Amino acid sequence: MKKSTVFAIIFCTVVLAAIVFFGVFFTVDEIDVRFENDVTSADKQAVLAVIDVDAQTNIFSVNEKKIKQKVEESFTDNSIEVVKVVRSFPNKITVVVRERTQLFKIRIKYSTQFVAADKDFRRNAAYDAEQIASKKLVEVNGFEVTDSFAVDGCYKLKSFAYALLEAGFSEDSLTTFVTKIDFEEDRLVATLFDGATFSIDSSDVAAATSDCVQRYYATPYGERAGKAF
């Protein structure tokens, strides 16, 4: 028998053995849920109940996209986001979940109500003035929304939020650091918790925000309060 034939037989045998081995020993026996932040709109059991993975599914064939879609669609208020699905060999998967954090308080045009929105404008809910007063949000002045968030002001707010996140802020700390944002003709003015302000050029919100943060932290702590950056 030729060496090439022997090699092919051995190779096929090894491949078949691997398929059998992985199929038997790498089936999902445990599914866990880990929350990345404080979650009020769901609990572990509620998330586990909608994860569609059979007990004998091979860990290599777990469909992460399907899990993400299934979980997020089950929460119709868009409050839950699947961050990632982690495989832990030989037989465990962990679904990492976070709650979309509402950051901004924006007035609704032709209404006495306000909307609370997250950084991506995925999780949104309308509240009257009394209801929203109890929420820790960044107050937005200078523009209003109607039935869509596909407006210039919202795009700028998103850029502002992402610039702060890139600078190391968490979403929770963002609403502590910034108290309000005023939209003016060619800039945004963000008022901080200590009375300092960021003057942010509307033409490039992300870069201007990043520059303000750098100058703020380059200023001695005792000199920041009330200062314009």
197 and 128 co-located in one domain:
yes
- Scan for tokens 């999902």, then name that residue: 28
93 and 121 co-located in one domain:
no
55 and 130 co-located in one domain:
no
Give CA–CA dist 60/43, Å, rounded: 27
What pTM was estimated for this model as a whole?
0.80
Give CA–CA dist 122/80, Å, rounded: 10
Provide the token pair at 110.
């032709």
167 and 203 co-located in one domain:
yes
Identify the CA nearest to 161 among candidates 195, 196, 135, 200.
200
94 and 201 co-located in one domain:
no
146 and 162 co-located in one domain:
yes
Angle, CA 50 vertex, CA 91 and CA 57 arms, to 5°: 30
**Per-residue tens of pLDDT for the chain, all 229 residues:** 555 554 444 444 443 334 444 445 578 888 899 999 989 899 999 999 998 787 678 898 889 999 999 999 999 999 999 999 999 888 899 999 999 999 999 999 999 999 999 999 999 999 999 999 999 999 999 999 998 999 999 999 999 999 999 999 999 999 999 999 999 999 999 999 999 999 999 999 999 999 999 999 999 999 999 999 9
Residue 128 belongs to a domain with what CATH number?
A: 3.40.50
92 and 170 co-located in one domain:
no
Give CA–CA dist 23/17, Å, rounded: 10
Domain that holds residue 167: 102-223
In three-state secondary structure terms, 26 is: coil
Give a yes or no: residue 59 inside a domain. Answer: yes
- Scan for tokens 């901004």, then name that residue: 104
